[in-house]
Structure 1
């Protein structure tokens, strides 16, 4: 298979390259949607809720708001608005500390994550892993790692 690395940047995608791009976009969106819908149906948590709660839980339930923004790749305004909605629902609290704001997962947030994590794991397995053989899963992981590698560009 040609990688077409020698072509000028202005060369349009071939039909197969375009098909690959759109298949990737479609698969990514379908997978994210299916997993998020499974989690929301079981817990009421949105995909962004899960991302925030899991990242905070990974650091013992408390994280600096600016660190959370970096990890999630969100701008500060988006994160602040989302955290306000989560505070209103009793999932997190925020407090000013020297040099910033700390976000802490509440007991209610910890409880809902405990319910959501096995649902999330089952959804990932059902929608991403089970359709493939073990060898195919490993090849897919290797391909995705290669795409995401810092030196892949």
Structure 2
């Protein structure tokens, strides 16, 4: 059958899957150990750090990092308790709020970014090398992303799917 995987297909998949999971875990462990920031916190801090005015709405964070809005909202609540972010009223939409970096959040973002970038370089970039292998991986990644398309976008059937979640 055309949809059956061969032993070679499985070997390639298993190696790739194992590498990806272990790389994710190694990056997360190092991030937590060096800066005290979890991977979910880092994703939000980095997204806020890249925004022009260091603030985003929950729906924009969710879109940027591929999470459901409810997950982002819960994570932001935990980060508020740690003093990394704060919510402020959104002047564009009376129902919405901004999520903004605090001074502590900006420091955490900068510190964790340095260590995270160094880990990515050590575990991935330096191992991959440059040139043809990097270009091949880039082209391959883009083809996989094109094949996936919108299939990775989750259906959040809750009230925030329609953009009506308070504070989003």
Inter-partner Cα distance in structure 1 for 2:146 and 2:24: 21
TM-score, length-scaled by structure 2:
0.78
Deviation per CA, 1:93-112: give whole Å up to 9, x if none: 11232241210010000011
1:66·1:100 contact (CA, 8 Å) conserved in 2?
no
For 1:53 and 1:67, the matched residues in 2 are separated by 13
- What does residue 126 of structure 1 align with? 122
Name the counterpart of 2:80: 87
Deviations 1:29-75 (A, max 9, x none): 11111111111111110111110011111112100111111112211
Structure 2 partner of 1:56? 48
Whether 1:137 aligns to 2:134 is yes
Instruction: Please give the residue correspondences for 1:44-123 in structure 2 after superposition, counting only pairs within 5 Å.
Output: 44-59=36-51, 60-97=53-90, 98-123=94-119
Gaps of 5+ in 1: 1-6
Map residues 7-18 of structure 1 onto 2, 5 A cutoff: 8=2, 11-18=3-10
Normalised TM-score (structure 1)? 0.86
Alignment coverage as a number of residue pairs: 145
Displacement of 1:85 in angstroms is: 0.6
Partner Cα distance (1:133, 1:72) in 2:
27
RMSD (CA atoms): 1.9
